[in-house]
A and B are shown apart, each in its own frame.
Chain A
């Protein structure tokens, strides 16, 4: 998937050697081989996938480790990344907990009008119902011509906010869909 010139292990050897110098100087004995070994065990045999942090706009490099079953077991700074050089802040360093987190939304949920609870529904059902809602709102509020008789072809009755949390390609696709539906109230995080 990704080819990295320096593997995690060669990096550990290098950083281990650096750490050894420091520790030898400070304590008189060297714990670093054990630390490096422990580190290695934690991610041994894991697959490395490169990513970029999802929080602020610095764009720090992250390496995500997954086990043989495809489960995320670790996420840490990418030492090859020229901006972040392996560093991450508290948020970026907690990326692992986004992937492995019992609070994640895992189901499609629906709240009917005047209901006090969520109900689990299927994707197919939800998407069809949303599509029907879109069509109903669009057709009811669509304005082909304004008061001056000019063609405006817009949907006045639907608005959207979002999202800087999406990838570029998704943002473009979303923008394309909204404009095709005739929306003009299209906004997102950049405005606030």
Chain B
């Protein structure tokens, strides 16, 4: 999130799209209600009517997988009706920037496409620079090659009728939403968007969010109270675990994982440190070398020296272009690439797209370590449906860990609030906190390498692993390591501003520097002061970066540093005191004026990107159909599916488009009473009583078509697998009219699995495809093609004797 949960209350218009906030982030709804109580308008856009929709002032439906068409239509509407914040667009976005003359777009393809590689050469998408290396601009926004004109041109194709034919949303509904949300273009109006997996789990996931980011930029809604782009993330600490670099492509705090051509730290820095020649751009990532050196010091301590590049060579390198993300990981495992595997606090046998393939992949391992609070379909995969333990070689270790209330440590919510938790009780039996297990396990590995050196023992023997007090693992020592030290004084860093690239500072995660200082553990704070009155609560817990509660907050002021929205002054410049008052400024430079610095400090150009030349599938979002879709032709272009996605072929991977065997669009989703694969909640009596089993929601019209009654048992099936469910026949789903065809949408929760409860049903991910977004590789679990049919259980009858002919 750029903003935070309480900030919802500051909005005039709230758009919830690609999520079901009332059911999946229930307590946060109080801040939507607080906004509504003050007169705010709440809009919900979703394929399905949910509890969120019941509270919406405007609810409209769209076919799953058509969000870019829906929002692209909004971009056209805003520009056509002059409903955009001209000051903001000119000063704080790249609208005025001039694009390379070779940039082009034709029939669904951007310039530079290579169909054999299914990827783009992005060089023609570059922004033009002058002789000094400063981006060329046309502040009148009239140049035909300026971003604004290209944007206007691109979305001129997204006319209401066309959008309606694609989305299945009536044009009147589209206009209603566009007009209502567009009203926030006024500087004293704030509009916020809340999204979740309904936007990310598509082959156009990143571009779904980009489309909305463009809208927020046009409306001047970024960096303001009551605005922003707000991801309602699915796990209590998925923000923190991402920040900690538990993904193949990043080290902690978004330092890219090194690639093989970068042999030295200097090579790494050269290839990963953006340069801006524009004196008005802060270009914060210019500090990257300081963060990398300090991170390596936190890895190897005294063994990281200037002479040995701080141990950079010991760190594993990826090949250029190598993608080691989730779907590829399990594809490789299925092909037998790994002997060992950790499933630590995860249940991929139910949580992964195409879970049936994952379960087979687990049989290819020599050993697997599964750490969890309860038994799971992953730990016990070898005795699951269709498995014969006698034929499965995989050695499995199931390690019992403490639950959240049985250990101490911090987690980071979607608003980037790092909140400290205390230990209330001991874990049961011999269960241990994950931290203790990791700490002790690595000591065992190290002991083996001390005894018998093995292959490249240096990173193991030289790793700084001294986080104990009185012979026991001490989480506070890790928290301090993450915050970082000034190694010349031994004192904790006050924040990341003082970090250096010469080895005199260490810092495990620069974004968390300032969280645990000489003044104490900031995440544990519980003081409820609210000096701005905007609900920032700067002394409650701590938030990254630097306790800044709303990111890019200097975009909320005018060129003189005055709040553009006097009702919600997030920040103002005190000219006499020469300081900012309000939130922690992003960052502490004077107001932009005529010579000051641009507000989007993490972007090399200092402004927000209407034109985004860095993504793999185009600088502007474009509508493509899901990999599995119900219509033969994309009404927007000759490209049916996203031209940049990787298509997994062969083995267990199979897909069906416009196949009469799988005629219905299916989405997976969650219910309030369960969480993720149900790995915790299926074991809790109160919750499993409330939501005991797998179901499939279908419309009244589809039920009639298939002769299904409410409560009937049905089979839901895709190219990958099938499962049984109880049919819920409901008005919450309705067929769509898409380009003259009737398209039915069905929906299934993904919280169940064969292990427990016994009659609860199987994982919805047995049905989902192995395909991901070309930027993130997040799987497309929100739009795939399925069939649903009534289960006709015939009593078993003896086979009839047939006469041999």
Contacts and interface: CB of A to CB of B under 8 A. Distances in A.
Interface of A: 1-5, 47, 49-60, 62, 64, 66, 70-72, 75, 80, 82-85, 87-92, 94-95, 97-99, 101, 103-116, 118, 123, 126-142, 144, 146, 148, 150-177, 179-192
A66 B299 CA distance: 38
A57 to B, nearest CB: 4
Given A56-B235, A103-B375, A130-B444, A161 B346 contact: yes
Nearest to A114: B390
Contacts of A173: 435, 438-439, 467, 478
A117 to B, nearest CB: 8
B673 A161 contact: no
Contact of A153 (B27, B345, B438, B456): B456
A108 B399 contact: yes
A82 to B, nearest CB: 5
Given A155-B316, A159-B338, A52 B236 contact: yes
B371 interface: yes
B447 interface: yes
Contacts of A106: 400, 428-431
B741 interface: no
A167 B390 contact: no
Nearest to B299: A176
A99 B403 contact: yes
Nearest to B240: A168
B6 interface: yes
A37 B454 CA distance: 66
Contacts of B373: 98, 104-105
Given A59-B419, A133-B340, A179-B315, A82 B261 contact: no
A88 B27 contact: yes
Contacts of B232: 56-58
Nearest to B315: A179
B425 A64 contact: yes
B393 A49 contact: no
A70 B425 contact: yes
A85 to B, nearest CB: 7
Contact of A64 (B245, B342, B405, B434): B405
A163 B346 contact: yes
Contacts of A70: 425-426
Given A105-B373, A168-B409, A187-B326, A152 B236 contact: no
B248 A184 contact: yes
Given A54-B403, A164-B241, A179 B409 contact: no
A171 B346 contact: no
Interface in B762-805: 776-779, 781
A108 B236 CA distance: 26
Given A131-B445, A171-B241, A114 B478 contact: no
B720 to A, nearest CB: 16
A78 to B, nearest CB: 9
B277 interface: no
Contacts of A4: 526
Pick from A47, A111, A156 the residue with the most CB of B within 10 Å: A111
Nearest to B673: A90
A190 B367 contact: no
A99 B344 contact: no
A91 B687 contact: yes
B311 to A, nearest CB: 10
B395 to A, nearest CB: 5
Contact of B454 (A51, A64, A91, A138): A138
B433 interface: yes
Interface in B373-424: 373-375, 379, 382-383, 389-401, 403-415, 417-419, 421-424
Interface in B674-708: 674-676, 680-681, 683-687, 690
A169 B246 contact: no
A105 B241 contact: no
Contacts of B369: 130
A150 B375 contact: no
Interface string B444-469: 11011100001110011001000100
A167 B475 contact: yes
Given A166-B241, A172-B244, 20 more contacts: A51-B424, A55-B675, A57-B414, A97-B685, A101-B683, A105-B398, A106-B400, A108-B430, A111-B382, A130-B444, A131-B441, A144-B455, A161-B348, A165-B236, A167-B411, A185-B324, A187-B325, A188-B246, A190-B238, A192-B351
A93 B533 CA distance: 30
Contact of A168 (B6, B235, B313, B411): B411
A168 B440 contact: no
B372 interface: yes
B261 A150 contact: yes
Nearest to A90: B673
Contacts of B30: 85, 87
B58 to A, nearest CB: 24
16 contacts: A49-B423, A57-B233, A57-B239, A95-B405, A98-B405, A111-B398, A114-B390, A146-B319, A152-B316, A161-B343, A163-B241, A163-B246, A170-B438, A172-B508, A177-B442, A186-B245
B254 to A, nearest CB: 12
B24 A56 contact: yes
Nearest to B670: A56
Interface in B580-605: none
A165 B402 CA distance: 11
Contacts of A47: 424
Nearest to B235: A164
B237 A164 contact: yes
B449 A104 contact: no
B339 A90 contact: no
B676 to A, nearest CB: 8
A139 B778 contact: no
B461 to A, nearest CB: 10
A104 B449 CA distance: 34
Contacts of B236: 52-57, 59, 164-165
Contacts of A129: 397
B246 A162 contact: yes
B672 interface: yes
Contact of B419 (A52, A162, A165): A52
A175 B405 contact: no
Interface in B19-54: 24-28, 30-31
A191 B344 contact: no
A51 B405 contact: yes
B460 A168 contact: no
Contacts of B676: 189
Contacts of B683: 101, 103
B252 interface: yes
Given A98-B373, A114-B390, A180-B460, A137 B687 contact: no
Interface string B58-80: 00000000000000000000000
A109 B675 CA distance: 25
B621 to A, nearest CB: 21
B652 to A, nearest CB: 18
Contacts of B333: 159
B412 A168 contact: yes
Given A55-B675, A57-B414, A172 B478 contact: yes
Nearest to A141: B339
A110 B395 CA distance: 8
A72 B426 CA distance: 9
> What 4 pairs between A and B have smallest CB-CB spacing?
A106-B429, A167-B409, A163-B345, A59-B413
Pick from B391, B439, B442 the residue with the most CB of A within 10 Å: B442
Contacts of B241: 163-164, 166, 168, 171, 188-190
Contact of B430 (A72, A107, A144): A107
Contact of B690 (A3, A90, A132, A192): A90
Given A128-B444, A157-B340, A66 B685 contact: no
Contacts of B335: none
Contacts of B342: 158-162
Contacts of B84: none
B531 to A, nearest CB: 14
